[in-house]
Amino acid sequence: MRRWQQHPRRPPRSRGQKGGSETALGRSRGGWGSKIHLLTDGHGLPLAVVLSGGNRHESCYLEELVLAGYRGRWPLWLLGDRGYSAPRIRLWLEQHGIRPVVPYRKDELKQRPNLPQLDRERYRMRNVIERTIGRLKQCRSIATRFKKLAVSFLAMIRLAFVQLYLRTIDSSDTA
């Protein structure tokens, strides 16, 4: 008789999928990672953040992100990249009175060639979110993700938010 037959016990951890909601880690081509979904205002100040595993698509988290950033009124526009170009997302945004400024995917343009044109002037403002993410990643603990649990990592991101807000209030700080 073997030892495991004499003393049966529960396995030390579940044998299910690694990662998951409590870690917000997912396997992608680059290895284990996570995605930071960020909602900012027009000046680059963060309003809401949602974490997901690196193997999850951005469009799955848009509604949750916009609802987390809701502060009594909906934004007029939502700027995003092609990852947010899906009919269900456009419908959801229009139902809430938000105009999507998202370029269409190539397969959408082939299927329906007379779609409305992209507002290029407004779409150029999308660099604001990219610069905000760059400022957040100046914090080394966010850029390299030292924390394993999503709650701890989210707390570090929110501390970086506070730092951005304080820099905005005191513009004499150049560090």
Classify residue 11: in a domain, yes or no: no
Classify residue 6: in a domain, yes or no: no
Classify residue 38: in a domain, yes or no: yes
Classify residue 16: in a domain, yes or no: no
pLDDT per position as a tens digit, 16-72:
445 455 777 676 676 777 888 899 998 889 999 999 887 888 888 899 999 998 888
Classify residue 18: in a domain, yes or no: no
- Which position has the higher pLDDT, 147 or 65? 65
Q: What average pLDDT does the chain have?
A: 82
Domain span at residue 89? 23-166
Q: Which residues 6+ apart lie within 8 Å of 147 measured at CB?
A: 141, 153, 155, 156
**What pLDDT is stored for residue 108 in this prediction?**
81
Classify residue 128: in a domain, yes or no: yes
**Helix/strand/coil percent split, the chain, to 5:** 40, 15, 40
Classify residue 3: in a domain, yes or no: no
Classify residue 63: in a domain, yes or no: yes
DSSP state letter for 159: H
Instruction: Tell me what the mean pLDDT of segment 78-92 comes to.
Output: 89
CATH number at residue 128: 3.30.420.10
Tally the domains of the chain: 1
Torsion of CA 142, 148, 152, 157, to 10 degrees: 20
